[in-house]
Amino acid sequence: MNWQLIIPGLVILPIKLVGTSLFLIYFPQIFPMPGFQGTLNSTTERNVTVLQTTSGLPKTQPDSSTITTTARDRTAKPLQWEGHGGNYYLFSKAKEVWSSSRTECDDQSSDLVVISDRKELEFLRNKTRDADYFIGLTYSEMEMRWYWIDKTELTRGLFTLKPKTLDYENDCAIIRAGEVSPASCHKRNQWICEKTMK
């Protein structure tokens, strides 16, 4: 038997197995995949690492201490949020369609931004110079009017909304450098979440 070839192989094999296992465990965290809601867990069974997805398992209800902690945390300033005028704002780096953007905000106990005054508009103008961001403004084809997600109608005078094109695609709105424009709800853009300071 040629031990000079076998010993390096026995040393390299466990290193490769550990490296592959770590890669499979941390890959979804480093490179998140859209549409994949499951998480990977690793468990050890008889010295063999087995990966399992949890997407098919039923979701468990959190206990009351978790609910209390979550409710308390909603009033604290979250990380990566910026405070202004009694509200916190999150400027996303990722891009999603409008409905997914709103879901992302909801997951953060917030909603897409509703611009209520000139100070807020000026704050957003300074933060949105380099990209298009979805805001909480949509067009009602039936009523032929723009409405905020809080069901209030867009009032004239706060900003001039660029004209809506005749196609039915541009029923959402984006902001860039303080200019609000109609945009396709199905195009992927960054977004702004807003939550009230309490």
pLDDT at 63 over 50: no
The yes-or-no verdict on residue 80 having pLDDT over 80 is yes
Q: What is the secondary structure of the chain as a DSSP string?
A: --HHHHHHHHHHHHHHHHHHHHHHHHHHHHS--TT----EEEEEETTEEEEEE-TTSPPPPPPHHHHHHHHHHTTSPPTT-EEETTEEEEE-SS-B-HHHHHHHHHHTT-EE----SHHHHHHHHHH-SSS-EEEEEEEETTTTEEEETTSPBPPTTS-PPPPPPSSSS--EEEEETTEEEEE-TTS-BEEEEEEE--
pLDDT at residue number 108: 92
Higher-scoring residue by pLDDT: 170, 27? 170
* Residue 157 confidence (pLDDT): 83
With a pLDDT cut of 70, the percent of the chain lying above it is 69
The model's pTM:
0.60
87-116 pLDDT, tens digit per residue, is 999 999 999 999 999 999 999 999 999 999
For the chain, list the domains and their CATH numbers: 3-27+37-53 (no CATH), 81-196 (3.10.100.10)
Per residue in 133-181, pLDDT tens? 999 999 988 888 899 999 999 988 888 776 666 666 789 999 999 899 9
